[in-house]
Structure 1
Amino acid sequence: MDLKEIMAVNLRRVRHDKKITQEELAARAGLSARYIGAIERADASASVSVLGQIADALAIDPAELLRRPKRFDQAHR
Structure 2
Amino acid sequence: MNVRKIIGWNLRKLRVERGLSQERLALAADIDRAYVGRIERGSENVTTDTLAALAEALGVPPAELLIEPPKDAREPAPLASGRKPKAG
2:36 aligned counterpart, secondary structure: helix
Query: Which one has a bigger Cα radius of gyration?
Result: 2
RMSD of aligned residue pairs (Cα, Å): 1.4
Which sections of structure 1, spanning at least 5 residues, go unmatched? none
Please give the alpha-carbon distance, in whole angstroms, between the structure 2 residues aligned to 1:73 and 1:40. Answer: 19
Normalising by structure 2, we get a TM-score of 0.79
Please give the alpha-carbon distance, in whole angstroms, between the structure 1 residues aligned to 2:11 and 2:45. Answer: 12
User: What CA deviation, in whole Å up to 9, does each residue of 1:7-64 have, x standing for no partner?
Assistant: 0100000000000000000000000000000000111111111000000010101111
Please give the alpha-carbon distance, in whole angstroms, between the structure 1 residues aligned to 2:63 and 2:72. Answer: 16
The residue type equivalent to 1:58 in the other structure is: L
Q: What residue in structure 2 maps to residue 23 of structure 1?
A: 23
Paired-residue identity, %? 37
Q: How many residues align structurally?
A: 73
2:5 aligned counterpart, secondary structure: helix
The residue type equivalent to 2:58 in the other structure is: L
Which sections of structure 2, spanning at least 5 residues, go unmatched? 74-88
The residue type equivalent to 1:24 in the other structure is: R
Please give the alpha-carbon distance, in whole angstroms, between the structure 2 residues aligned to 1:43 and 1:3. Answer: 11
Alignment partner of 1:3 is 2:3: yes
Q: What residue in structure 2 maps to residue 39 of structure 1?
A: 39
